Chain A
Amino acid sequence: GEEVAQTPKHLVRGEGQKAKLYCAPIKGHSYVFWYQQVLKNEFKFLISFQNENVFDETGMPKERFSAKCLPNSPCSLEIQATKLEDSAVYFCASSRLDGGSRSSPLHFGNGTRLTVT
């Protein structure tokens, strides 16, 4: 597709429940990035993929967060045993090459708003 598609748009989970978010990158884009936007609009990098391989996972909380990008499937971000502080908007972005450059910008989806109650 021509846009990064994220589902669901909204997700509500009770504390301790699992949450799974999906992202379909733009066709032909090799890189996928996950960001978390919390209060005061702060964006935090979580993880990036080059095709199905983890490229950089230095932003991922190790204990409860995991992510995958499998061939012919949407990418996913899973949070086991959600906590109140996980409430945020999770954005997926894709780029043709390793993004952040003029020749290969990041294209963001519209995000999934996760509310943990």
Chain B
Amino acid sequence: ELKVEQNPLFLSMQEGKNYTIYCNYSTTSDRLYWYRQDPGKSLESLFVLLSNGAVKQEGRLMASLDTKARLSTLHITAAVHDLSATYFCAVDEGGTSYGKLTFGQGTILTVHP
């Protein structure tokens, strides 16, 4: 059974600081997603990572994937208050899984002035 573990689960940051959220998964994966969720809202897709060494950047967020280590990171650069949200990674096992996603527990990010 695929397990997806995120850490940290809670992250309190000051504006302007950098930090990294880690996502480890237990089996080989077809692709990995990062989502943002605001309270009471749906899942906003941030990044899709398809292959080993993939790196994607959007604004202050950068995601990377190391399939050999079964690790993805979401790096936050110079955090701003608007980035406060819950961030989830999700793994698609591929194969016969028909696109089923297994989610990490989520990281609640709070950015303070």
Question: A and B bound?
Answer: no
B residues apposed to A, CB below 8 Å = none
A residues apposed to B, CB below 8 Å = none
